[in-house]
Amino acid sequence: MILGIDHFVLTVRSLEVTLDFYERVLGMRRSIEPGRPASLIFGTQKINVHESGHTFEPKARHPMPGGADFCLVTNAAPEETLARLAGENVPVELGPVERTGARGKMISIYFRDPDGNLVEVSRYSGS
Question: Does 2 reside within a domain?
Answer: no
Question: Does 24 reside within a domain?
Answer: yes
Active site residues: 120
For 79-99, the pLDDT digits (tens) are: 999 999 999 999 999 999 999
| Mean pLDDT computed over every residue of the chain | 95
Domain of 106, CATH number, reads 3.10.180.10
**Please, are residues 115 and 70 in contact by the beta-carbon 8 Å criterion?**
no
Question: Does 1 reside within a domain?
Answer: no
| Number of domains the chain is built from | 1
Which residue blocks in the chain are alpha helix, DSSP H?
A: 15-26, 78-87
pTM for the model stands at 0.94
For 98-123, the pLDDT digits (tens) are: 999 999 999 999 999 999 999 999 99
6 closest CA partner among 45, 52, 34, 39: 45
What value, to the nearest 5°, has the Cα angle with vertex 72 and ends 10 and 122? 150
Give the residue, 125 or 18, on which the prediction is more confident: 18
pLDDT at 127 over 80: no
Rounded Cα distance, 122 and 73, in Å: 5
